Amino acid sequence: MNSVVQFPNRIPTVEFEERRFQVYTAKHLDKIDVIQQLPEDTLFEMKVVSSVLPFRVNEYVINELINWDNIPNDPIYQLVFPQRDMLRPEHYDRMAETIREGADKQTINAVAKEIREELNPHPAGQMQMNMPELDGEVLDGVQHKYRETVLFFPSQGQTCHSYCTFCFRWAQFVGDKDLKMASTDAEKLHGYLQQHTEISDLLLTGGDPMVMKTKHLVQYLEPLLEPEFDHIRTIRIGTKALTFWPYRFVTDKDADELIELFARLVEKGKHVAIMAHYNHWQEITTEIAEEAIRRIRFTGAEIRAQGPIIKHVNDDADAWARMWQKQVELGIIPYYMFVERDTGAKNHFELPLARAYDIYRDAIKQVSGLARTARGPSMSAGPGKVEIQGITEIKGEKVFVLRFLQGRNPDWVQRPFFAKYSDTATWLHELEPALGEEKFFFEDEYEQMRRGNG
């Protein structure tokens, strides 16, 4: 099948052959031919780790994005294939022993569940503090942390074309209903949005909403074109599909309908923002990836790029600079450099905040102003998004200069504050107030918020 959508007065769409989507999970490790050349110990380690943390990869990623001559250092290999150190030694040893003993599936799952509960599956208070209500009923699959923005987790989009090893939403993918956020109730979502006119932005997230059929997206998004939703000015869609399966936007059977949906939303006055997750420039080196970007942009939707800085994948300033430059060349807006969240395999991927800032600064110095739209390094912590603005010295004390880019209280936003410098701290809770202060300015109010939702 060749997919063609006509855009009047624009460059004709390039044609690509339809590609069959073939996926591999933990059950299929022995079916991935290219990894059978790896040492047996490595394959066993993959089996152990994928028994606890989710694993999923597709044929396109394996054959088009990974340089198999650079294993294990290839960044995309590190991005999708399990690595032993993703589990703490005590967790790894426990699961490895369980498997070596020939335990049945039920026993392995029970051990995995116990380990997962120690991995902070839902960080930043998202299951305690972000849960909105409609007519006294908690809305499953909806998160409302910041005043202007609501997150919606459509149940049809709670998987991905491939899984990132560092993913902070790994708990969505392990088959545990107690850990999963999801909803199929479009009516309740729309009812909540109608009642809260302070909301301007709806973010569809997951998982990845782009694994959904377009007909399901239509169900959630088209009603927002009615006058009672005029206050919803921006529709954001968080996705990794531009990396993991760009065919979704080009040759999939309902790709044209998807592109037409974006165009229709834009034509009716909605700002459509595709929040694309990128971690390395290797993700945008194929012709199909560039074509997917081009088709989206021709609808009038914009693409913003975001992703965390993670050890073993992109802890390199040159890699970030090259990626941002390529994104700008393709019309993508660099948006965020995040810090790896305090959940899941953070012990393997996290970097000290000081190191993350140095990499950000060294990268941003290499690019033009159009790429300096990337903000960071930023921590999506309980109180809000906290950016490291710099490292300096005040009255003889070395400090981090911090600010809220977004906060549970909007009044916190853009207020600078200072933390004692640390060359080991990797997250907000590891930082201490500087300049003689006993607490950060927001701590008491945040604690009241937390208790009020406890």
What average pLDDT does the segment 288-309 reach? 97
What average pLDDT does the segment 368-383 reach? 95
| Residue reference for tokens 């921006």 | 234
What average pLDDT does the segment 366-373 reach? 96
Percent of the chain scoring above 70 in pLDDT: 93
pLDDT bin (cut points 50, 70, 90) of residue 12 is very low
In angstroms, the Cα distances linking 123 to 128, 242, 267, 384, 390 are 10, 26, 38, 12, 25
Q: What is the pLDDT of residues 198-233, one digit of tens each?
A: 999 999 998 899 999 999 999 999 999 999 999 999
**Angle ∠(276,279,285) on CA atoms, nearest 5:** 85
d(CA 309, CA 314): 6
> What pLDDT, on a 0 to 100 scale, did the predictor assign at position 186?
86
CB 235 within 8 A of CB 271: yes
pLDDT bin (cut points 50, 70, 90) of residue 454 is very low
d(CA 366, CA 95): 44
The mean pLDDT value of the chain amounts to 92
The neighbouring-strand residues paired with 394 are 397
> What pLDDT, on a 0 to 100 scale, did the predictor assign at position 155?
86
pLDDT bin (cut points 50, 70, 90) of residue 8 is very low
Percent of the chain scoring above 90 in pLDDT: 81
CB 144 within 8 A of CB 151: yes
**What sign does the CA torsion over 427, 319, 359, 347 have?**
positive
What average pLDDT does the segment 265-277 reach? 98
* Range in 76-85, 141-150, 175-184, 255-264 the model is least confident about: 175-184
Q: What is the pLDDT of residues 152-205, one digit of tens each?
A: 999 888 899 999 999 988 777 766 555 555 567 788 899 999 999 999 999 999
Q: Which residue has the higher pLDDT, 228 or 6?
A: 228
pLDDT at residue 372 tops 60:
yes
d(CA 49, CA 96): 9
**CA proximity to 335, closest of 273, 284, 246, 242:** 273
> What pLDDT, on a 0 to 100 scale, did the predictor assign at position 220?
94
Backbone angles phi, psi at 18, to 5 degrees: -60, 140
Q: What is the pLDDT of residues 381-416, one digit of tens each?
A: 999 999 999 999 999 999 999 999 999 999 999 999
What average pLDDT does the segment 247-255 reach? 97
SS3 210: helix
Q: Is the pTM of this model over 0.75?
A: yes
* Cβ neighbours of residue 444 closer than 8 Å, sequence gap 6 or more: none
pLDDT bin (cut points 50, 70, 90) of residue 128 is low
SS3 131: coil
Q: What is the pLDDT of residues 41-55, one digit of tens each?
A: 999 999 999 999 999
> What pLDDT, on a 0 to 100 scale, did the predictor assign at position 182?
52
**CA proximity to 66, closest of 165, 211, 200:** 165
Instruction: Say which DSSP state 402 is in.
Output: E
